[in-house]
Amino acid sequence: MKKIFFSLVALAALAACSKSEVEYTDNMELSLAPVTRLNTKAAVDGTDYPDALNMFVFANAGEATAALPGGYTEPYFANAEFTHTGRTDITLNTNVFAGVTPYYWPNVKKLIFSGYSKSGNVATMTPKPTYVWDATDGTWEINMTGYAPGAGTAESGNNDLMWFPTTTSSYAKPTTPGESVQVTMKHACAWVTIKIKGDATTGKTGTTWKIKNLSFTDLSQSGNVTLGTEADWTSITTGAEFDVFDRTDDGEEAEPLTTEYVDYTQIDYTDLVIVPQDTKTLYVTYEYVSQEGLAPITEIKPLALTYTGGTGWEAGKHYTYNITLGTSEILILPVLTDWVDVPDANGTDKQL
């Protein structure tokens, strides 16, 4: 950028040589250093925010003396896309994200920030998320309409909506180049993991016991969310059919059971991340051959995914279900009854 110069002309009473120049250095590019929250888990497990997962950021400006956060009412940028730079913050030793289109610090005013990950359908969401002041809570919040996590991809976090609440401190232009604003990401959705194995019979090598389908009949797949200090979900959609795993089409090979747990939410999806809602019933469709030479038998087993201590799948929590599909051997216990002699119908011997 070009340097900005301000010329100060001395008053006439001063010597003619009193003209001077005050030089302002180039504005520093604004950058963020995101980490995920330590005490929660979701599809992004741990505290290392994924390098490939861009984010969208809001910034509001205000005077250095303005009360926080209500005094910072001037939009500085909104839904600005930030991407991984490959640089490392000089003080935090964490990866740095900066604007796809670079953004620079104001020289005088300070900024507050809030942002969310480029996950699910946020990039195409209509209307775009908005940054609004909640007078009841006394905070700035991000409003989203119709967020849907989607199926995810091979890239971590693509269906895991994360956000950082409005910073409780304001930030001025750093005095040292390379400094970034550290923000702590939180998880707005719930994460459900379904693992299945067989027992010593159903999971043995060469088993005919195979999983064909795992599905819900009433899974809610989108909703509206306000991202403030916590994720507040409303207008959750009516539940609909949803296949977690499906091998029911002709020609598709069902998944044989093993004696080790297999994560079925990692086969057709990259983790099952869902909007928070009440727990549902999982329908497990499996097949097996009861006798060599016969056609496979198919059964559907409903499993209520309830758990102790709660009734719903909550934001920021990871629920793991370990399911064992076993069988009981068919046993027959024969009991004999003694013969009963039936006498001649006439009660006497017949003479011929």
Can you give the pLDDT of all 352 residues of the chain as single tens digits? 333 332 223 222 222 233 333 333 456 788 888 876 433 334 666 667 888 899 999 999 999 888 888 899 999 999 999 999 876 555 555 678 999 999 999 999 999 999 999 999 999 999 999 999 999 989 999 999 999 998 777 677 889 999 999 999 999 999 887 788 999 999 999 999 999 999 999 999 999 999 999 999 999 999 999 999 999 999 999 999 999 999 988 778 899 999 999 999 988 877 899 999 999 999 999 999 999 999 999 999 999 999 988 889 999 999 999 999 999 877 888 788 888 777 765 666 666 5
Cα 65 to the center of its chain, rounded Å: 38
Q: Of 142, 148, 147, 157, which Cα lies nearest the Cα of 112? A: 142
pLDDT in tens, 293-304: 999 999 999 999
Q: What's the confidence (pLDDT) of residue 89?
A: 55
> Residue holding tokens 């059971």?
257
C-alpha distances in angstroms, 230 versus 137, 162, 163, 289, 319? 11, 11, 10, 50, 19
Whether omega for the bond prior to residue 334 falls within 30 degrees of 0, making it cis, is no
pTM: 0.82
Q: What's the confidence (pLDDT) of residue 94?
A: 63
Instruction: Give the other-Cβ count within 10 Å of 143's Cβ.
Output: 17
